Chains A and B, each alone.
Chain A
Amino acid sequence: MYRILEKRSLNPTVTLMRIEAPAVAKKAEPGQFIILRTDAEGERIPLTVADYDRAAGSVTIIFQIVGATTEKLNALQEGDSLHDFVGPLGRATETDGKRKVAVVGGGVGCAIAYPVAKKFFEQGTEVHTVAGFRTKDLVILEKEFEAASTKFVKMSDDGSWGEKGLVTDALRRLIESGEQYDEVITIGPLPMMKFVCKLTKEYGIKTVASMNPIMIDGTGMCGGCRLTVGGETKFACVDGPEFDGHLIDFDEAIARSSMYKPFERAAHEATCNLLRKGDELRG
């Protein structure tokens, strides 16, 4: 069993959990993911590793409450245990030999962008972080990014945090002002990553995007997480999750991600009602 050592709400819809999983903690690297199940009947969901502590034997995950399973996960408390927690899966971010990078995160994707920024920063790479959120109330990991970035640009859709505008506006400005990046790493909603990649392609800057498709086993068996990269079928679980952003077929990835939307909506509502019922009963 995998005990929840710490639980913290980062904003009304995003939660951080530190999980006791020594075997995973021993191997985890930024860019990799885990798969968990909350209970014996639960579905397997992939979540990217947000941090790890090899000495304490713990792995940190950050998730947005978007569906039935994340709702159930969020209902667990410190001291409770997850039924299954397996990893680290996928390939780690390649950080070697890069002198200057831009890390572009959007929304809850910033939870994945943070360990990547941190790893670059700790190895002496100059890190420019551009983080974007819809509004101030949804901001996560602000202090952490401050500490792991040479330059930190804050963007919000409504201007309530940092500047009003999109992450691509900020990135374009940085590039136009003469900043030269060895690589741009982008993690966030698919449409955001699509436009970041479109932008960097104009300037010929190598860009890596972290993909988070639907998965089941996560070990290279089912093929559910496939995507097209440079005209070839790739599997995010074993070939990724990071791919050359200029070669990813984002439109196909966006279409595939909506496959189970109606099912997810129904399951989410059913779970919400159940949890509400449980809360009422507990009084």
Chain B
Amino acid sequence: MANLNPQKTPMPLQDPKVRAYNFDEVALGYTEQMALEEADRCLNCKHMPCVSGCPVGISIPSFIQKVKVGEFEEAYRILTESSSLPAVCGRVCPQESQCESKCVRGIKGEPVGIGRLERFVADYHNENCTETAEKPTPNGHRVAVVGSGPSGLTCAGDLAKKGYDVTVFEALHTAGGVLVYGIPEFRLPKAIVAKEIETLQSLGVKIAVNTVVGKTVSVEELMQEEGFEAVFIGSGAGLPRFMRIPGENLKGVYSANEFLTRVNLMKAYRKGSATPIRAVSTVAVVGGGNVAMDAARSALRLGAKKVYIVYRRSLEELPARREEVEHAMEEGIEFLLLNNPTEILGDENGFVKGMKCIRMELGEPDASGRRSPVEIPGSEYTLDCDCVIMSIGTSPNPLIKSTTKGLEVNRRGGIVVNEATGQTSLDGVYAGGDAVTGAATVILAMGAGKTAAKAIDETLQKQNR
């Protein structure tokens, strides 16, 4: 008999009053008992609606059935058939709009906590498994992957499992891409990312850090001089966008990328870190995505007394995951919805001292179907703050497109690909993730990496024959 509780088994969390002052993980993870209980809520539907909601097509009911009977290692094996980064996905995937949105249990009550179970299984394996993965037999083909974020690691992992000799080129000094520089420790501990990368290395994936493809070496050179038969470009999101309002270059205005990179990659939150970050007391984060939530919650943990999210639409349109929004609210972050900045004000030394905002209301739906925000005349006011973090998206990095002849990009600078294969306008060159779509989610990038890996394999095997 299945567990008929309409609610998910609750996830143990750090107390908001405590966690708002530390960088330790917020969600503590299920115990074995909780995992068994939650797995029991799965009805093991024959038509598996949940799988259709997963960008990498994990065989969800099968892994949950293994959890149900306590065969956690077997559950892990099923997960890794489809996902190279289960401990990451279990933490940062927007399950509520993917697998869990299709769950039959969600019709009357809450869906099965698929993400929580995935995380439990991956953590169980990482804590208990001492065996290293078996290295697949080499097939003699070499593939280069540009960027070690979610799409690159997935592509590398899938190809390595098939015996490809894969080298991942990373511009920064540490592998992991956005998982390391972007998503904060309290949401995704860096030790977990390092562990997942170690697992890929044990499959034979090589990682070359400090290599900027497009500068240190070009895509053409990788293929013509270094002997790679295919290249996957997963170089991620690029230059931060700003609003083009006065005052954006005052001291104390950060892009979310800069703020989070200082904190996450360079560990500016640790006492004695060589990388500085300004001590601030009142922070306004502009934007409503997951990155904005990460920046706001990081600012709070760095000791800010007051943190605002300033977003021009209403709560309903807020693009961040609901869980992140709830966590942010619990921690005391104040949401200034239907508000839009018009100018950042500085003191006589060029430091931020406030931000002029105007109140908004929702008008008619625009082309995207969302009701577009319209300024309310005369509603301007000044918000006191000494730090502004702009979190309104990025535009693709220009380094690769400007140094790769014949690589087609779209109007917004994203690399143009065939969606079914990830192939670009160049033979043997594939791309995926934010470099193609602009800022999106970890799991969509992983899905793209997976698609490209499959296409690369098929193409190289065909040529081989």
Does A pair with B? yes
Chain A contacts to B: CB under 8 angstroms: 23-24, 27, 37, 41-44, 68-69, 83-89, 216-217, 219-224, 226-228, 233, 235, 238, 252, 255-256, 258-260, 263-264, 267
Would you call B258 an interface residue if the criterion is a C-beta within 8 Å of the partner chain's C-beta atoms?
A: yes
Task: Give the residues from 33 to 79 in chain B that come closer than 8 angstroms, CB to CB, to chain A.
Answer: none
Q: Note all chain B residues with C-beta closer than 8 A to A259.
A: 251-252, 278
Contact status of A227 and B397, CB under 8 A, knowing A88-B215, A222-B255: no
Would you call B332 an interface residue if the criterion is a C-beta within 8 Å of the partner chain's C-beta atoms?
A: no
CB-CB nearest in chain A for B257? A222
Q: What 15 new A-B contacts, CB under 8 Å, besides A43-B275, A216-B262, A227-B249?
A: A84-B210, A86-B210, A88-B216, A89-B212, A217-B171, A219-B215, A221-B257, A224-B258, A228-B249, A238-B397, A255-B250, A255-B350, A260-B276, A263-B278, A267-B276
Would you call B108 an interface residue if the criterion is a C-beta within 8 Å of the partner chain's C-beta atoms?
A: no
A-B contacts, 17 of them at CB < 8 A, read A23-B216, A23-B217, A42-B274, A43-B276, A44-B173, A69-B274, A87-B215, A87-B216, A217-B171, A219-B172, A219-B397, A220-B238, A221-B239, A224-B258, A227-B249, A228-B249, A260-B276
Q: Are A217 and B172 in contact (CB-based, < 8 A)?
A: yes
Q: Note all chain B residues with C-beta closer than 8 A to A235.
A: 239
Question: CB within 8 A of B398: which of A224, A226, A238, A256?
Answer: A238
Would you call B9 an interface residue if the criterion is a C-beta within 8 Å of the partner chain's C-beta atoms?
A: no
1/0 per residue B395-428: CB within 8 Å of A? 0011100000000000000000000000000000
Would you call B242 an interface residue if the criterion is a C-beta within 8 Å of the partner chain's C-beta atoms?
A: yes
Would you call B240 an interface residue if the criterion is a C-beta within 8 Å of the partner chain's C-beta atoms?
A: yes
Q: Are B257 and A86 in contact (CB-based, < 8 A)?
A: no
Contact status of A223 and B275, CB under 8 A, knowing A86-B211, A235-B239: no
CB-CB nearest in chain B for A259? B251
Q: Are B255 and A86 in contact (CB-based, < 8 A)?
A: no
Q: Are B278 and A43 in contact (CB-based, < 8 A)?
A: no
Would you call B266 an interface residue if the criterion is a C-beta within 8 Å of the partner chain's C-beta atoms?
A: yes
Q: Note all chain B residues with C-beta closer than 8 A to A23.
A: 211, 216-217
Question: CB within 8 A of A223: which of B171, B244, B258, B398?
Answer: B258
Q: Note all chain B residues with C-beta closer than 8 A to A84.
A: 173, 209-210
Number of residue pairs A-B, CB distance < 8 angstroms: 116
Q: Are B238 and A221 in contact (CB-based, < 8 A)?
A: yes
Question: CB within 8 A of A256: which of B236, B251, B273?
Answer: B251
Q: Are B261 and A222 in contact (CB-based, < 8 A)?
A: yes
A227 to B250 Cα, complex, angstroms:
10
Would you call B248 an interface residue if the criterion is a C-beta within 8 Å of the partner chain's C-beta atoms?
A: yes
Q: Are B261 and A216 in contact (CB-based, < 8 A)?
A: yes
Chain B contacts to A: CB under 8 angstroms: 171-173, 181, 209-212, 215-217, 236-240, 242, 244, 248-252, 254-255, 257-258, 261-262, 266-267, 273-276, 278, 349-350, 397-399
Q: Are B397 and A226 in contact (CB-based, < 8 A)?
A: no
Q: Are B242 and A86 in contact (CB-based, < 8 A)?
A: no
Contact status of A220 and B278, CB under 8 A, knowing A24-B216, A86-B171, A256-B251: no
Q: Note all chain B residues with C-beta closer than 8 A to A220.
A: 238-239, 397-399
**Which of B239, B350, B397 has the most A CB atoms < 10 Å from its CB?**
B239
CB-CB nearest in chain B for A85? B210
CB distance from B259 to the nearest CB of A (A): 9
A42 to B349 Cα, complex, angstroms:
29
A267 to B262 Cα, complex, angstroms:
16
CB distance from B382 to the nearest CB of A (A): 21
CB-CB nearest in chain B for A226? B249
Q: Note all chain A residues with C-beta closer than 8 A to B258.
A: 216, 222-224
Question: CB within 8 A of B397: which of A88, A221, A233?
Answer: A221
A56 to B239 Cα, complex, angstroms:
35
Q: Note all chain A residues with C-beta closer than 8 A to B397.
A: 219-221, 238
A233 to B238 Cα, complex, angstroms:
15
Q: Note all chain B residues with C-beta closer than 8 A to A222.
A: 240, 255, 257-258, 261
CB-CB nearest in chain A for B402? A238
A88 to B249 Cα, complex, angstroms:
26
Q: Note all chain B residues with C-beta closer than 8 A to A267.
A: 274, 276
Question: CB within 8 A of A86: which of B173, B236, B238, B350?
Answer: B173
Q: Note all chain B residues with C-beta closer than 8 A to A216.
A: 258, 261-262, 266, 275
A213 to B298 Cα, complex, angstroms:
25
A219 to B254 Cα, complex, angstroms:
17
CB-CB nearest in chain B for A257? B251
A219 to B397 Cα, complex, angstroms:
8
Q: Note all chain A residues with C-beta closer than 8 A to B210.
A: 84-86
Contact status of A252 and B173, CB under 8 A, knowing A86-B216, A224-B258: no
A220 to B249 Cα, complex, angstroms:
17
CB distance from B218 to the nearest CB of A (A): 9
Q: Note all chain A residues with C-beta closer than 8 A to B267.
A: 41
Contact status of A87 and B350, CB under 8 A, knowing A235-B239, A252-B249, A256-B249: no
Question: CB within 8 A of B276: which of A221, A258, A264?
Answer: A264
CB distance from A242 to the nearest CB of B (A): 16
Q: Are B239 and A223 in contact (CB-based, < 8 A)?
A: yes
Q: Note all chain A residues with C-beta closer than 8 A to B173.
A: 37, 44, 83-84, 86
A81 to B278 Cα, complex, angstroms:
31
A279 to B275 Cα, complex, angstroms:
25
CB-CB nearest in chain B for A232? B244
Q: Note all chain A residues with C-beta closer than 8 A to B212.
A: 86-87, 89, 219
Contact status of A233 and B276, CB under 8 A, knowing A23-B211, A255-B251: no
